[in-house]
Amino acid sequence: MYFGQRFYGFASEAHTEPTVESEIFKAIERARLLVGSREDSCYSRCGRTDKGVSATGQVISLYLRSNLKDAGENILGERSEIDYVSVLNRNLPRDIRVIGWCPVAADFLARFSCLGREYKYLFWKRALDVSKMQKAAFKFIGEHDFRNFCKMDAANVSNYKRYITDFNISACDQRSNHDELWSMNIRGSAFLWHQVRCMAAVLFFVGQGLESPCVVDSLLDITKTPRKPQYTMAPELPLILRSCLFDGVSFMCSSDASQALIEHLKDEHHQYMLQAAIFDEALTCLSIPEPNPLEHPKKKRKHIPLLSREAEPSYEERRARVKAKSANV
């Protein structure tokens, strides 16, 4: 698990520090758990979360040093093997924690062995019509071409069909400033780049009454809408990679490591509650200004319907550009 606010995403290929992945490998190297180099470790990540996105169930796979002499030896209790959770958490920053480990077959890869992923997107209800949002969200379920709900990477991705197994919107039983916290809960086999944040952005338009739930049908119909309308995706901060599903994988965590995790998260929660209390204190120090009858109210920004907006290049147009660029090189 990690809290993504200060990280430039999970993967370290972006060459911008810090990333979650770079911090994990620093911890592995400090703990002297790596066998050979990173290139020799058969490393694989399940999900590649963006800058600012958090996770409570990210999964990676790689070869690590072991106390077991024989690869076929049975693990007779957690004490027979290195307590990877405790060892790594002693070397990780406070906003990253290993929460479990599991021995797997040599051909296991976190990315390609994963059967499904679950995301959660948090939001404040305010004046949103959640029932209309849920009606629109149901339209995502099933296999669809999501090219109008992602950041297209035409150079590397040719198949934009993805299968969504569940999409529900529910209250979180938490309130603040007379508002209620809700969440979008999305499950699917795999997801495209920025797919969840694009789906959330369109659902917010629906919840504000700016778009009909039927706009989802139009955007999923690539014959009718071959080019993605220009719109800003939802912010990254409320997005969580909640879990990754595998067959025959049962993660372990020693009782000592589990207790340390609980205490750590409680302590972090208390620290954030203190920060929230400081904001509450600041709010009590401010006086609410009296409305000025001579002051003209600010004009609301006019909403341009999604299907009437300027559109991005289609996949075919992007591929033609990629081929032309390659030919020139």
Which residue, 190, 204, 283, is CA-closest to 238? Answer: 204
How many CB atoms within 10 Å of residue 142?
Answer: 11
What the block records as the tokens of 97 is 């924690």
Q: Which residues neighbour 151 within 8 Å (Cβ) at sequence distance 6 or greater?
A: 192, 193, 194, 198, 233
- For residue 103, which of 74, 144, 130, 129 has the smallest C-alpha distance? 74
Closest of 116, 73, 70, 124 to residue 234, by C-alpha: 124
Main-chain dihedrals φ then ψ at residue 211, nearest 5 degrees: -135, 155
- Count Cβ atoms within 10 A of the Cβ of residue 159 and give its class: 0-12 exposed, 13-18 middle, 19 or more buried: exposed
Per the annotation, the verdict on 280 as an active-site residue is no
298 contacts: CB under 8 Å, gap ≥ 6:
none
Helices 130-138, 195-207: axis angle to 10 degrees equals 140
| Catalytic annotation, pick one of 50, 221, 256, 280 | 50
Using DSSP's 3-state secondary structure scheme, residue 187 falls into strand
Residue 258, H or E segment? helix 255-284
Amino acid at 200: A
Residue with tokens 């409305």: 291
Alpha carbons within 13 angstroms on the beta-carbon side of residue 86 total 13
What is d(CA 274, CA 284) in angstroms, rounded to the nearest whole number? Answer: 15
- Tell me the sheet residues that pair with 176: 179
The residues annotated as belonging to the active site are 50
